Amino acid sequence: MPLPPLTSYKQILFPTKATADFVDDLVTNRLPFPANGKNGIIIYGPTGTGKTSLMRLLPNALEDHRSGEVAYSPNYWAIDESTKPSNLFGSIHKLAANVPLSGSHNYFQLDEVDLLKTTAMRSLKSVMNLPISIFIFATNELNGIDPPIISRCHLIDMNPPPPSTVISLVKEVISNAGVTTQLPDDVIEKLIEKCCGDMRNIGDEIDRIINEKIRLSELQS
């Protein structure tokens, strides 16, 4: 049984309660956003901690508390070495010129944004000045992003969550799979350490453990 699908930002395993509260304040507009020259969000941290999942969930969550509608066709790009900045920013300019058919803002999501070159970073700074536009970035390397862009963004720390939180999730998934014998906490904690907090790898390990326990149960029956 895989990890449960994420349908709300509240299901994300954040590194601290303070981070979870900060995200909730942004989403619900208790912390006004966009405001004070900030119309971007940077989600940063190591691989497998839910950065891209959170980035995908935020547009609808933000719109729900601003217009009561869903975000209109959020625009997603995965940046890599082959990305042509002129094409990317040309597309963003073209899309931002249109009033969204639902919701209050156009949303632009750039994954691995730190892979943009220095000159492209300068263009990104300029494109962030477009009206009714919200930018959501994900990166493994916060220090790879130019300070002027960081200044225009709220930062969300997505380092690995505490082991106690992951242990609870692992136990829940194992129980939901119909396995009655749970793993001891110290065994699960070693599994988390082995996976370096990467939830993708933790999910694979949970599936392997569940299959082993089901196979053993079938042999004993």
Q: Does residue 216 form part of some domain?
A: yes
CATH code for position 107: 3.40.50.300
Structural domains in the chain (count): 2
Q: At residue 63, does pLDDT exceed 70?
A: yes
Q: Does residue 174 form part of some domain?
A: yes
Q: Does residue 2 form part of some domain?
A: no
* Residues 105 and 213 occupy one common structural domain: no
* Residues 140 and 194 occupy one common structural domain: no
Q: Does residue 201 form part of some domain?
A: yes
Q: Does residue 181 form part of some domain?
A: yes
Residue whose entry in the numeric block shows the structure tokens 């904690």: 189
- Amino acid identity at 160: P
**Mean pLDDT score, 146-167:** 94
Question: Alpha-carbon distance 221 to 218, whole Å?
Answer: 5
* Residues 32 and 131 occupy one common structural domain: yes
**204: its two tokens:** 């694979």
* Residues 129 and 184 occupy one common structural domain: no
Are β-strands 40-44 and 75-78 bridged in parallel, bridged antiparallel, or unpaired? unpaired
Question: Alpha-carbon distance 74 to 55, whole Å?
Answer: 10
Between residues 199 and 133, the one the model is more confident about: 133
Count the neighbouring beta carbons within 10 Å of the beta carbon of residue 3.
18
Q: At residue 184, does pLDDT exceed 90?
A: no
* Residues 146 and 171 occupy one common structural domain: no
Q: What is the pLDDT of residues 18-57, one digit of tens each?
A: 999 999 999 999 999 999 999 999 999 999 999 999 999 9
* Residues 97 and 167 occupy one common structural domain: no
* Residues 153 and 169 occupy one common structural domain: no
Q: Does residue 96 form part of some domain?
A: yes
Domain, as residue range, for 214: 163-220
* Residues 102 and 181 occupy one common structural domain: no
* Residues 28 and 85 occupy one common structural domain: yes
* Residues 13 and 117 occupy one common structural domain: yes
Task: Read off the DSSP letter of residue 215.
Answer: H
* Residues 13 and 69 occupy one common structural domain: yes
Q: Does residue 199 form part of some domain?
A: yes
Q: Residue 221: what pLDDT?
A: 60
Half-sphere exposure in the Cβ direction for 70 (13 Å, CA): 5
Q: How confident is the model at residue 216 (pLDDT cuts 50, 70, 90)?
A: confident
For the entire predicted model, the pTM comes to 0.90
Q: Detail the DSSP E strand segments found in the chain.
A: 40-44, 75-78, 106-111, 133-139, 153-157
* Residues 48 and 149 occupy one common structural domain: yes
